[in-house]
Chain A
Amino acid sequence: MSSQGTPAAGDKKGVWAALRRPSGRYSMLGLISVGFVAGVLFWGSFNASMEASNSMEFCISCHEMRQNIYEEYRKTAHYANPSGVRATCADCHVPRDWGHKLVRKVLSVRELYGKLAGTIDTKEKFEAKRLEMARIEWARMRASDSRECRNCHSYESMNLEGQQQRGRKQHELALRDGQTCIECHKGVAHKKPDGMTEEDAGA
């Protein structure tokens, strides 16, 4: 005779216990299938969200971006050029490889805080913070050896002979001295911040 008032071994209650308890109702195949579909849906939506937040439309949906740096960017070769290749916000500011991209996305949470707090919600506030923000991005680019620039540009594929005299000379010197893109190419897609020091300019 079994004792009905005493729980059997392993018959514990709670969510974790329920998750750990083998199913007596569903087949292994059913569980794997459901898990697979759920995984695809979760992963797909997660990745789609990340990609959606990489689009230029997403970036300029905030007036802070649209009214300030987007207008400057529209006048540069990264927006329109004879070859018809465009580099959008994420091409320069978000790493392409998944690991670095995830880190960048996580760090961008602080930008959400800035949005909510209205840190740069007027032109005046934006200009007051421009140098500080630029320095953060310059440091990030320098630390990664201008990784995002190099998604499109490289010394190996650069035809120095086809460049104009000034660019050719500067690239020859940079190549010789092992310089990275961002050391010279500050302000290529946005206005240079007021108050830049000689150190900022790489002197």
Chain B
Amino acid sequence: MMMGKTFLGLALALAAGAADAAAPADWSKVPSKTITLFYPGAAHWEWMQKATEHSGIKGMRKGESCAGCHDQETADMGKKMVTGQKVEPAPPKGKAAAIPVTVQAAHDGSNMYIRFSWKQPPSAGGAKQDPDNPVKLAFMLEDNKIEMANLAGCWLTCHQDARTMPDAKDDKRTKYVAGGALAGGKFFDLLQWKSGKGAKPADGYVADKRVMEGGKALVDVKAEQKGDTWTVTFARRLTGGEGDVTLVAGKAYNFDVAIHDDSAIGRFHHVSLGYSLGLDNAKVDINVVKQ
């Protein structure tokens, strides 16, 4: 048993060491893209599909993506929702409408290194829903196996019966994909970092339910806060295990980011629209460049 633990510790140390060795020494040379995360209110997937509420669904059914119409107005959308002008029955007073996040990514043939930087908005001063973790950042990857994932991104996991939604009845119900299953690859690979002292990052997935463990791809996460600016860097193997999307050069994967700021939980987060990520692929939004 002791030997097993020693081996595990050594393996983790080696893995972390490998990550350190290959992470870009100078991130300023890695291409960056700013994605503006916004407060989504209670705009769940069921709301999104109602043309009486969201006329854009008609465009989506013709193949248009959320980002295709809304990419340039996410901050305005966040403002409408956080102030209760739209799709928010309980406007959270003082909460930020949007958080611009700079995303950079590189790989060394074995691991992907993806770095998120953002300025922490002022606290709203309300009740702390997750007092142990003032900030959490998560991103998801999907391998084009789920219908409309390339258009709607993580909205496919966000439902009206999820906890913290206005009409939710089950406070244990979290994200899920209708028809989602690991078999056939119908899942979103999910990685999450938490700012809490001693909190471990999660490597899980979202299929017919959300699972926050079991992934084999995550190597480590490094986070630092300088002043009011956070920088969080994930090191992730290109190939993992069950519930991990395998990243292959040239392909495009669906990519989504979320931040739970100000000790928030559930839907009270800031989210990105759906974007694309790929290794050595100039056509995607986040090009993970070879170092």
Contacts and interface: CB of A to CB of B under 8 A. Distances in A.
Contacts of B55: 170, 184, 201-202
Interface in A167-203: 169-170, 173, 177, 184, 192, 196-198, 200-203
Nearest to A201: B51
A120 to B, nearest CB: 23
Interface residues of A, number: 16
A201 B52 contact: yes
B56 interface: yes
Interface residues of B, number: 16
Interface of A: 164-166, 169-170, 173, 177, 184, 192, 196-198, 200-203
Nearest to A184: B55
Contacts of B59: 169-170, 173
Contacts of B52: 192, 196-198, 200-201, 203
A196 B69 CA distance: 24
Given A164-B73, A165-B73, A202 B68 contact: no
A170 B73 CA distance: 15
Contacts of B64: 169, 173
Interface in B38-56: 50-52, 55-56
Contacts of A196: 52
A168 B153 CA distance: 22
Given A173-B59, A201-B50, 16 more contacts: A164-B72, A165-B71, A165-B73, A166-B69, A166-B73, A169-B64, A169-B69, A173-B64, A192-B52, A196-B52, A198-B52, A201-B51, A202-B51, A203-B51, A203-B52, A203-B57
B145 interface: no
